[in-house]
Amino acid sequence: MSNGQLQLPKSLMPLIILGIVLIIFLSKSTVTIDAGESGVLWKRFDGGVVIDEPAMGEGFHIVAPWNSVVIYEVRQQELSEKMKVLSSNGLDIILEVSAWYVPQHENLGKLHQEKGENYLERVIKPALRSAARSVVGRYTPEQLYASKRDVIQSEIFEETKKILDVQYIQLNEVLVRDVTLPATIKDAIERKLKQEQESLEYEFRLVTAQKEAQKQIIEAKGKADANKILSASLTDKILQDKGIEATLELSKSPNSKVVIVGSSKDGLPLILGNN
């Protein structure tokens, strides 16, 4: 010891150096993978990216310090895109679309080797845009505005999925959030739809009136036929019998005094009152 400084024994120096090397070694040899993530192992001296084994799962892992691990998120993720596409008649349509996707866990090594960490820009966005342009190009603005929203959503999903399935990406859903038409086209479509609605309402009222008139004709015809049948069945004999029955009922009234049978114009009984 000199000048008040502490001198370490020379025998400890190798141990200190070994300890530092061991700490560095351990820090380079451990990997912690969080929830919703997986790791792709890259071996410096043994073929690079490991593609014939499952990706590393969540938790603590020890790897050789000369190797490395690239971590990917394997939760469902969302891509939102706003793009300009053309309808079947060449008009500009603004389409807002969302895609839900996850990398295929069993093919994560191949995805890393062939596409890399930036697979969203390299694969998913071009696939979604291509499918959207292809699908929208089959329809007119009227169809897109009125009745084909669910149809184009389904078709965009199917076409995008077909592309991504062979790119090691699982597409879960495509949602068409909004379809924006040129203002003049939108106004024209709305006027046309309003006119069609008014026409349908007028046709409905017309049909209803025709049905009501037909109902009244049928009812009137039924009443006429009934009266005709009734008139044909009322013979003179029946009328005379009915008259006799009515006269006998009247004769029971305290206001009646004398009944003379066969004295009226038609041979019916004649009733003479108190006066």
| Residue 248 resides in a domain | yes
| Pair 96, 177 in one domain | yes
pLDDT at position 135, please?
A: 93
Amino acid at 169: I
Label residues 206-235 b or e (16+ Cβ within 10 Å = b): eeeeeeeeeeeeeeeeeeeeeeeeeeeeee
pLDDT at position 28, please?
A: 65
| Pair 135, 218 in one domain | no
> Residue 222: is its pLDDT beyond 90?
no
Q: Where does the pLDDT of residue 246 fall: very low under 50, low under 70, confident under 90, or very high at 90 and above?
A: low
Number of domains within the chain: 4
Range of the domain at 90: 77-181
Contact assessment for residue 145 and residue 99, using Cβ atoms and an 8 Å cutoff: no
Q: Of 14-23, 28-37, 152-161, 208-217, give the lowest mean pLDDT range.
A: 14-23
| Pair 245, 228 in one domain | no
Amino acid at 26: L
| Pair 89, 154 in one domain | yes
Where is the domain boundary, 44, 73, 102? 73
Sheet with strand 37-43: strands edge to edge: 48-49, 37-43, 68-73
| Pair 22, 90 in one domain | no
Where is the domain boundary, 152, 181, 210? 181
| Pair 23, 52 in one domain | yes
pLDDT at position 16, please?
A: 63
| Pair 127, 223 in one domain | no
Average pLDDT, rounded, for the chain: 79
Per-residue model confidence as pLDDT tens digits over 43-69:
888 889 999 888 888 998 888 888 889
Concatenating the DSSP letter of every residue in 222-273 gives: HHHHHHHHHHHH--HHHHHHHHHHHHHHHHTSTTEEEEETT-STTS--EEEE
Rounded Cα gap, residues 95 and 175, in angstroms: 11
Mean pLDDT of 218-226: 78
pLDDT at position 211, please?
A: 82
> Residue 119: is its pLDDT beyond 90?
yes
| Residue 5 resides in a domain | no
Amino acid at 196: E
Q: What token pair was written down for 81?
A: 């895109």
pTM score, whole prediction: 0.61
| Residue 202 resides in a domain | yes
| Pair 228, 240 in one domain | no
